[in-house]
Amino acid sequence: MTDKTNLQPGRGENRRPGSFFGRRKGLKLRARKQRLIDNLLPELLLDLEKPAPENLTDLFIDKPKKLKFRVEIGFGGGEHLAEQSETNQDIGFIGIEPFINGMAKMLGEVDDRALQNLRLYDEDAALVLDWLPAETISRLDLLYPDPWPKKRQLKRRFVSPQNLDRIARVLVPGGEFRFASDISSYVNWTLIHCRNHPKFQWMAESADDWRNPWENWHRTRYEAKAIREGRAPAYLIFKKQ
């Protein structure tokens, strides 16, 4: 059963086209994090009840022209997304994370770094992909998604023909879909699904291209834990044809 604590009125289970994530909330939030959820999140939360703007620059607090826009799905505690947002002020970022505790950590980063080129969403990423205008996103990152390893759970993996269609629709021509995971079965799953999709081409030319992190990569706590436990991450880049 989905924990609907902290869901906004009118938002929730009946709006999700798929269930690609697990629990919504972990430990009770400390006072500051709860204040950020209550006060800062509503300012940054995408309102999917309104039509998406034709120019995505209009989504962001800082109005200088954005040359590119990126989406990060499942940002966890926000380490990678916050670093990317802070070091790429000319890019508009959309971060999606249903886990309330992860969202609270990200809001702490936003508050501490005074990030203004970022919008957030706390439910199913498929809803955002359906909402965004076509061919507006230069890069979409799916980092360490829930692997749903059991056979009966495979249909809950975010990488699927339907979601690859969604990703392909919002990416600009030549845009990138980036996937990172330490679960080899999910890496192989993603390679097979993208190979079978007409819009995606794997960009690796040698083993180092998927064994080594991407340029300007910022390691997350989850990745550090995976490496400590002996699991080797893979970093895949697919270009939209």
21 pLDDT exceeds 70?
A: no
β-bridge partners, 180: 143, 235
What is the per-residue pLDDT for 134?
A: 98
Mean pLDDT for the stretch of residues 29-40: 94
Comparing 52-56, 148-152, 160-164, 189-193, which segment has the lowest mean pLDDT?
148-152
Q: What is the pLDDT of residues 124-146, one digit of tens each?
A: 999 999 999 999 999 999 999 99
73 pLDDT exceeds 80?
A: yes
Distance CA 146, CA 125 (A): 13
What is the per-residue pLDDT for 202?
A: 98
Mean pLDDT for the stretch of residues 162-182: 98
How many helices (H) and strands (E) the chain has is answered by 9, 7
12 pLDDT exceeds 70?
A: no
Domains observed in the chain: 27-240 (3.40.50.150)
pLDDT band per the 50, 70, 90 thresholds, residue 9: very low
**pTM (two decimals):** 0.88
Mean pLDDT for the stretch of residues 200-208: 97
What is the per-residue pLDDT for 24?
A: 56
Identify the active-site residue in 124, 146, 182, 209.
146
Q: Where would I find the beta strands (DSSP E) of 41-196? A: 68-73, 91-96, 118-121, 137-143, 171-181
Mean pLDDT for the stretch of residues 164-192: 97
Angle, alpha carbons 225-126-87 (nearest 5°): 55
What is the per-residue pLDDT for 13?
A: 42
Q: What is the pLDDT of residues 74-122, one digit of tens each?
A: 999 999 999 999 999 999 999 999 999 999 999 999 999 999 999 999 9
What are the structure tokens assigned to 135, written together?
Answer: 């061919």
Q: What is the pLDDT of residues 207-235, one digit of tens each?
A: 999 999 999 999 988 899 999 999 999 99
pLDDT band per the 50, 70, 90 thresholds, residue 149: confident
Mean pLDDT in the chain?
Answer: 89
The answer to whether 26 and 99 have CB atoms below 8 angstroms apart is yes
Mean pLDDT for the stretch of residues 52-57: 93
Annotation says 146 is catalytic: yes
